[in-house]
A and B are shown apart, each in its own frame.
Chain A
Amino acid sequence: MPITLHLPTVLAKLADGKVLDAEGETVGAVVADVATRFPALAPRLRDGTGNPYPFVTFYLNDEDIRFHGGFEAAVQDGDELTIVPAIAGG
């Protein structure tokens, strides 16, 4: 399933830019696809066991994936996945 991945600026430098095309049947598969293509980005998206961090939230079409099965959440053609890391500046 081809989908669009939106990265925050702080992570974009570890990939090809802020907007990436990615493939996968689930959010976890999409993350794995991106992690393979951009190894430096991988540890910022998931922990050593392949699970999401509690301080990086993934939104699939504006819905928090934690309420839709986490990395098991199924994706459809044309979905948009947005990655929102915790920031604390003020």
Chain B
Amino acid sequence: MAHGNGTVTLSNEEVLRYSRHLILPDVGLDGQRKLKAGRILLIGAGGLGSPLALYLAAAGVGTLGLVDFDVVDVSNLHRQVLHGTKDVGRPKLESARERIHDVNPHVHVELYETRLTSANALDIIRDYDVVIDGTDNFATRYLTNDACVLLGKPNVYGSIFRFEGQASVFALEEGPCYRCLFPEPPPPGLVPSCAEGGVLGVLPGLVGTIQATEGIKLILGVGEPLVGRLLLVDALTMQFRTVKLRKDPNCPACGTHEIRELIDYDQFCGVTPESHVTNTNEIPEITPTQLAERLRRGDDIDLIDVREPYELDIASIPNVNLIPLGTLAEALPTLDASRETVVICRTGARSGRAVRQLQAAGFRRVYNLAGGIHRWADEVDPSLPKY
């Protein structure tokens, strides 16, 4: 027997499955039918995307779109509960589809195994009712924002770092957008990523379930959406507070509407592939194999590790000088620019920036350890753990 009016109906199995929703004031049969007819797009199937996909599927959102092009890494599993140990090495979208169908086989899953770009964003987003931003970089956040503003789609924002998170709902006609909150991104390298700075595993669970709640409220049309407010979550003090977000009349996206089409967001965020390649070429490198051979020969080389102290506790090369990247400038007077120097970090990104900083300070024989301590573990010391 089918339950409901119009085109969307619930089977007896679905009625039983959603029974705690159906007896809930403000949801009921009509609300559950709205959820089944609802189409939500998740940008990212990682930390935030995991609780989002699980809870939205369980709640009975009829169609879930997922955009991601990553594969599951074992270091994802402390927070990305959508994926399991058996999924390591598989595309995230594959494990996501399996898990979602296990949670709720009634959900239709649409997969986009691609990076969201200016070329595909409007076409992907166009057919959804709600977009939820769970990406891990500024360029995709500005792209998602602008595409949602152009298409008039609500954009449920969430972002996390270490112990803190932010959430809001953007791109509703009357409300502000992401650019009203942060008109421009920080320069590349200023704000560490979660891979560099770490993140508390349960934090995306907290923020992702807040985003899922907002997505469901938007589909149901109940309650007060988190529009015009920025929710700040601090897991260490366990304080949740909201500050007011205002629509900026000068915002080029939602205020003046001077952004009429999508732009080059890598360039906007200062991470154009061209400049990246050029910059990489400018950084002199030494491979772990080469460095190990030179150290074995007894060559006189200064080793500077620019990671944080707690990272050296996990894995390190003997006899390094620990100078976290953030303190390199103040440590410069203690360093000898005439010495041959190799700079080390986890994978080579931070040490690359340090090499440039040292070059600017007059170091002529300074090299980046290519691939960082990870590649050192591959090539030289397999006993070291990767993290």
Contacts and interface: CB of A to CB of B under 8 A. Distances in A.
A54 B234 contact: no
Contact of B191 (A18, A62, A82, A88): A88
Contacts, number: 92
B160 A89 contact: yes
B313 to A, nearest CB: 17
Contact of B184 (A54, A66, A84): A54
Contacts of B166: 84, 87
A4 interface: no
A89 B243 contact: no
Interface string B175-216: 000000111111000010110010100001000000000000
B49 to A, nearest CB: 7
A79 B361 CA distance: 42
Given A8-B164, A9-B234, A90 B204 contact: yes
A89 B48 CA distance: 9
Given A88-B191, A88-B193, A9 B186 contact: no
Contacts of B49: 90
Contacts of B164: 8-10, 87
A53 interface: yes
A86 B187 CA distance: 11
B163 A9 contact: yes
Contacts of B163: 9
A8 B182 CA distance: 16
A53 B186 CA distance: 8
Interface string B227-258: 00010101011000111111010000000000
Interface in A4-26: 8-10, 18
A66 B166 CA distance: 19
B122 to A, nearest CB: 21
Interface string B310-330: 000000000000000000001
Nearest to A85: B191
A89 B159 CA distance: 5
Nearest to A53: B186
A10 B243 CA distance: 19
Contact of B138 (A18, A66, A86): A86
A64 B136 contact: no
A25 B141 CA distance: 36
Contacts of B204: 90
Nearest to A88: B138
26 contacts: A8-B164, A9-B236, A10-B161, A10-B162, A18-B237, A40-B330, A53-B186, A55-B186, A59-B244, A62-B241, A62-B243, A64-B243, A66-B248, A82-B232, A84-B230, A85-B191, A87-B164, A88-B135, A88-B138, A88-B141, A89-B159, A89-B161, A90-B44, A90-B49, A90-B158, A90-B204
Nearest to B180: A64
Given A55-B184, A55-B186, A89 B244 contact: no
Contacts of A18: 237
Contacts of A10: 161-162, 164, 197
A90 B185 contact: no
Interface residues of A, number: 23
Contacts of B48: 90
Given A9-B163, A57-B181, A64-B244, A86 B47 contact: no
Contact of A87 (B161, B237, B246): B161
Contacts of A90: 44, 46-49, 133-136, 158-160, 194, 204
A33 B185 CA distance: 26
B137 interface: yes
A87 B168 CA distance: 13
Nearest to B232: A84
B191 A67 contact: no
**Pairs of residues from A and B, 4 with the lowest C-beta to C-beta distance, nearest first:** A54-B184, A87-B161, A89-B194, A54-B183
A40 to B, nearest CB: 8
B246 A88 contact: no
A9 B248 CA distance: 27
A61 to B, nearest CB: 9
